[in-house]
Amino acid sequence: MVSGKEWWNVSELNKKYEIVFKDKKQETSDIFSFVFTKPDGFSWTPGQHGIFRFHDYDFESDKGYRVFSFTSVPEDNILMFTSCTYDRPGSEFKEHLLRLREGDIMTVEEPQGRFVVDDYDRPVCILARGIGITPVRAILRKLDISGSNPTKMKIYYLDEGGEYAFEESLRHIDNKIPGLEIEFLKDLDTLQDRAEAFARIIGNEGLYYTSGTAGINGMLIEMLLALEIDKTNIKADNFIGY
């Protein structure tokens, strides 16, 4: 029915590319972006994600990999992903991630995921909560640098604490693109109301994307289905606490 992070595709047989750490940027009190070199021949579609591992570190208490959405686009000539650090204090992987130094090496596997916007001529509604904004940032970055103008794109970005990752750049893009409107929200009820209002007006002429925890995504999908939105018009990116 919907797409999510494809955990079942993790395999030691997947092709791995070395990426070299360059820098990290603190986006909010607990969200960091990590910037790496982009390997030759490696590309992805905005909205996709990759499987990341450390090159030379063996974990004793951790599975040793994570799935992160790409928050940069290939045209940036860097590879960037963004992660929250609060979801599992003491995570060996997250602790090691925060200790990365310039020149350290990780690996990334071939990009995966179907959380991509297929048709900008149709109205698009994107619902993002918290760290769920990460694939959306790449989608908007691509719109910005390509000079594209969607017919009608509404993005509702929820963070109950009012800390919005990429807020400055998102507002900048919002102001540049006539067919785009981003609304920053602080409570779940408002997010539901906005999604319902869009669906009642646009119906199955639109495409619907929801990005966040599996629980929130599931609730929003159930609401859309109850409004007779066809499941083929819905895509989800499920972020699991890890």
For residue 14, the 8-state DSSP code is S
The single residue listed with the structure tokens 């609060």 is 86
Judged against a pLDDT cut of 50, whether residue 144 lies above it is answered with yes
> What's 191-240 look like in SS3?
HHHHHHHHHHHHHHHCEEEEEEEHHHHHHHHHHHHHCCCCHHHEEEEEEC
Query: For the whole model, what pTM was predicted?
Result: 0.91
pLDDT, mean of residues 102-107: 96
Judged against a pLDDT cut of 60, whether residue 36 lies above it is answered with yes
Question: What pLDDT score does 11 carry?
Answer: 53
Question: What pLDDT score does 87 carry?
Answer: 52
